[in-house]
Chain A
Amino acid sequence: MRLKVIYALSLIASVLLAFNLYKVFMVLPDEVNQGAIYRIIYIHVPSAITCFTCFFTAMVSSALYLIRKDMRFDAVAAASSEVGLVFATVVLVTGSIWARIIWGIWWTWDPRLTSMFVCWLLYAGYLMLRRAIDEPGQRARLAAVLSIFAFTDVIIVWKSIEWWRTEHPGPVLSIRNGGGMSPGMEAPIWWNYLALVMIATVLIMVRMRQEDLRREIDSLRRWAHAL
């Protein structure tokens, strides 16, 4: 059943992405001030919202783990954090390439960029913490606490363009105050977000299965040592 869902989601995401790419490159016109480079928004922003969705899932799963002590929630948190980190890397790299053209520099220590970089470091630290602790219960407990703490930075990243004056552009999406993008240009962002969330879901499901395998290996090892 899980395999069928993985294949179905992959197929739908691929078709959606192909359609979106066609629309972004062949249908939408260049932006007046930025020219062709503005199209990076169609991978940069959906990746950012996807990574925040993954980190939110990790935070909720971590809280549920602390309440119920069920290792399945720990597996969801670990998988979501890892997949979220991949999309966070996409955000930082695509943002940097975009900045090189628009600002003339690859990087600046602006509040939005810095808070996003700190976010990346926090979740990279989360994954390193998981590798450093052998005992599963202790690993899950400490990782859950760190995951909940790390999510506070996601809120700072999201709100940074409202709280501080930044080099990074202000809100563009219509769901936020001040967002003034035209509906025709905004729609592909949400369609791409949908496709990326499907890809993230597939990756999380595969990673969760790997967490199950890891737990099975650990329990067999303990059994072998007991014999």
Chain B
Amino acid sequence: MVEARNLMYMFYGFLAAWLIVIFYVVMIAMREKRLHDELDRVRRMVEEREKR
């Protein structure tokens, strides 16, 4: 019983660690996409203003 609880918590520990890292990786991937979108938008804005 104690051994099963030990194993379960060990599993939770490793799972939590990898979930935190994966969550961060997803977060920076989303940020990367947002930054590229923003860069395209600002570039278009500069081009439009230069044409005027």
Residues of B within 8 A of A (CB): 2-3, 5-7, 9-10, 12-14, 16-17, 20-21, 24-25, 28, 31-32, 35-36, 38-39, 42-43, 45-46, 49-50
Contacts and interface: CB of A to CB of B under 8 A. Distances in A.
Contact of B3 (A36, A98, A203): A36
Given A86-B21, A90-B20, A224-B45, A39 B35 contact: no
A57 interface: no
Contacts of A39: 10, 14
Given A35-B3, A210-B32, A227 B46 contact: yes
Contact of A220 (B7, B35, B46): B46
Interface residues of A, number: 34
Nearest to A79: B28
Contacts of B46: 220, 223-224, 227
Interface string A38-53: 0110011001000000
A101 B4 CA distance: 12
A221 B46 CA distance: 8
A44 B12 CA distance: 13
A35 B6 contact: yes
